[in-house]
Amino acid sequence: MTVSPFDLRLAGQTVVVTGAGRGIGLAVTTAFLAAGCTVVAGSRRRTEGLDRLLRQSADLTVVEVDLATPQGPAELVAAAVAEHGRIDVLVNNVGAVRPRLDGFLATTDADWEWTFAVNFTAAVRATRAALPHLVATGAGRIVTVSSVNARLPDPLVIDYCAAKAALSNFCKALSKQLGPQGVRVNCVSPGPVETALWKGEGGMAATVGRSLGVDPADVAGNAAAQAATGRFTTPAEVADLVLFLASPRSGNVTGADYLIDGGLVDAL
């Protein structure tokens, strides 16, 4: 039988997605379900988007869990293994950012600890919990959503940049250890994305706009204009890249960090 070149060969696989309630995580969850996967979605609370997917698919399980807590990621992984007996793919997506409008000196230890817990340590803990199951498959895959800010330091989000830089470095180092065990580890680093993190009521554009006394739409427009394409990336575009890296179609790709930023980053 001839296999379509567009078939990612993911059908029947079990996928764990962190931060799946909205934005990129919801798009990733939707895309894996469309590819025929069973998805265990971790979210701090049920969302309208997840409820809609639950009505549409029996292959989705939603686990309400705070992934920023020490036990949260392990609880999510344990729920997936208890229900399905295996994990083929882990997508470390959970993340959040708070603009530091008053500068570095106003960014407290608690601010730094929160940022690293959400954007770095959650992925470390989820990976630690899932790794024995990924190794057991002989062909496990980890795809982590990092950020262009891992390589574009910005004082407005100084703690977020540091956490994402640590996350990308962690994934690269881990890929070297796990390659001989058949587990591939890759990163996806988006620029600004059409999500609530950027365009929601409490998002970057609104927060910075209020601080500067300008229209949030102008803040978002200025950010989009920095990309060569002149626009934000969509969550579905990020999800497409995540699925490719999670699929057998990406073959020998490991330790890579793929920018999806509309040409925002100038350096090669």
pTM (predicted TM-score): 0.94
Asked if 92 and 126 touch (Cβ cutoff 8 Å), the reply is yes
Q: Is residue 266 part of a domain?
A: no
Q: Is residue 4 part of a domain?
A: no
Q: Is residue 8 part of a domain?
A: no
Are 87 and 202 in a shared domain? no
Backbone angles phi, psi at 166, to 5 degrees: -60, -40
Are 57 and 179 in a shared domain? yes
CA angle 125, 126, 130 (to 5 degrees): 120
In CATH, what number is assigned to the domain containing residue 168?
A: 3.40.50.720
Q: Is residue 18 part of a domain?
A: yes
Q: How confident is the model over 150-204, as pLDDT tens digits?
A: 999 999 999 999 999 999 999 999 999 999 999 999 999 999 998 877 777 777 7
Are 156 and 204 in a shared domain? no
Q: How confident is the model over 143-156, as pLDDT tens digits?
A: 999 999 999 999 99
- The strand order across the sheet containing 184-190 reads 60-64, 38-43, 14-18, 89-92, 141-145, 184-190, 257-260
What are 30's two structure tokens? 């939707």
Are 116 and 133 in a shared domain? yes
pLDDT at position 200: 76
Are 56 and 145 in a shared domain? yes
Residue 210 sits in which domain range?
Answer: 197-232
Are 186 and 88 in a shared domain? yes
**Which residues are part of the catalytic machinery?**
160
Are 243 and 203 in a shared domain? no
Are 131 and 226 in a shared domain? no
Share of the chain above pLDDT 90, in %: 84
Using alpha carbons, select from 234, 210, 214 the residue that is nearest to residue 224: 234
Amino acid at 75: E
SS3 label, residue 15: strand
